[in-house]
Amino acid sequence: MDTFIIEGGRQLTGTITPQGAKNETLQVICATLLTSEPVRIDNIPDILDVNNLIALLTDIGVRVTRHSRTSYTFQADSLNLDFLESDEFVRKCSSLRGSVLMIGPLLGRFGRAIVAKPGGDKIGRRRLDTHFLGFSKLGAAFEHVPGRDVYQLHAEKLRGCYMLLDEASVTGTANIIMASVLAAGETPIYHAACEPSIQQLCHMLNAMGADISGIGSNLLRIRGAKALHGCTHRVLPDMIEVGSFIGMAAMVGNGIQIKNVATQHLGIIPDTFRRLGINVIEMGDDIFIPHHDSYTVDSFMDGTIMTLSDAPWPGLTPDLLSVLLVVATQAHGSVLFHQKMFESRLFFVDKLIDMGAQIILCDPHRAVVVGLNHNKRLHAGNMTSPDIRAGIALLIAALSAEGTSRIANIAQIDRGYQDIEQRLNALGANIIRQ
């Protein structure tokens, strides 16, 4: 098991560019299953979750051409659907959360899909009900095979219908969209997720010949197409990585410029950091974070304690709450963090408490952070990364701490962040992989 050894207390300075968006990439790569024609996708991050999904598509017969480290062409013109029945396919799916996104396109184009109970982060229950309720309304039948822990789905012909989703699930919305674009008739989807990754997926599908309107809203209208064709698509910069770099620059930066962030797609992320007192300077499509000797948390207009909570887009993405919490440990002021969407994501704060942070974990969903205002630095610790986003939050904490820290299970960080230690070392960090 690889480990990061981090020398804390070093000031970082320079320029860094975010990778392509992980969540969008997983969706658009799976969307290539909807056509037999080649689809080129650029700005793909070279990270574990994405590479495992590409390998899985290759296993079922997708022809993959790698033009560069971040650019691929996919052509699903000769698939071996029998491989879906194999134990090897089930095993690979069970270790990769993104594999669930294959259901919609396989069902939409071929009328059948077999997907194992997906793996991924241990951040709480992530149910698939939304996906399967949507498929059922389109006319698919499914069954759970307990012995193999797989879901089998089949449909003679999917037919469009009105559906009101039980929750604004991002992967659920993406899956239902991909199943609907080839379904007969019209499919209005209300209470749809509208994250930038969903918007990008819809734009790509429209470029392939789909007919999707209402993009960016929670009411999508999809008119089924007879077939889709190839296209070229570019993945957006990863807004979670942008947010991670803002937090890192605030705590240990001596002037850091984050390049090509696609500011129009960041939503309330910059303003949320500003509420913690961080000076976020937007310069065209770049962001500059100057050195901060201190930063003061805003209070609400009535004087009450600041509360930050996650919510479906355009609310605050839950993926950044861990980073914001670490940043708050050195702020002047107090913040209540309310993690509404996942019940296990705050448990990593025990490690921050061990490092000297003043945090009260109220319950699995809420934590109060009393900022130290740089009067007392965090001290080094030995930690284990429980999930991707907690991993990067612990890395930021270690960079700001006094002494040398160790973070184990960094494969979790590798799942979502490309070459993270090399990129941060280029800014002046001292991170060694062992």
Report, as residue numbers or ranges, the catalytic residues: 121
What separation in angstroms does the CA of 92 have from each of 60, 83, 211, 415? 12, 12, 33, 15
The secondary structure element, H or E, covering residue 412 is helix 411-414
Residue that the structure tokens 């941060």 belong to: 424
What separation in angstroms does the CA of 420 have from each of 36, 46, 134, 380, 429? 35, 11, 37, 20, 11
- Check whether the bond before 314 is cis (ω within 30° of 0): yes
How many whole angstroms separate alpha carbon 327 and alpha carbon 359? 12
Q: What one-letter code names the amino acid at 317?
A: T
β-strand 12-16 against 3-7: which pairing, if any?
A: unpaired
Q: Is 329 left (phi over 0), alpha (psi -120 to 50) or beta?
A: alpha
How many whole angstroms separate alpha carbon 341 and alpha carbon 325? 16
Q: What is the DSSP letter of 10?
A: P
Structure tokens at 126: 């992530």
Check if the beta carbon of residue 389 is closer than 8 Å to that of residue 240: yes
Structure tokens at 147: 């012995």
Q: What one-letter code names the amino acid at 8?
A: G
Written as one string, the DSSP assignment of 55-107 is HHHHHTT-EEEEEETTEEEEE-SS--GGGGGSHHHHHHHHT-GGGGGGHHHHH
77: CB partners within 8 A, 6+ apart: 36, 37, 63
CA angle, 374 as apex, 373 and 375 as ends, to 5°? 90
User: Which of these, 74, 66, 63, 67, lies nearest to 39 by C-alpha position?
Assistant: 74
Q: Is 293 left (phi over 0), alpha (psi -120 to 50) or beta?
A: alpha
Check if the beta carbon of residue 417 is closer than 8 Å to that of residue 393: no
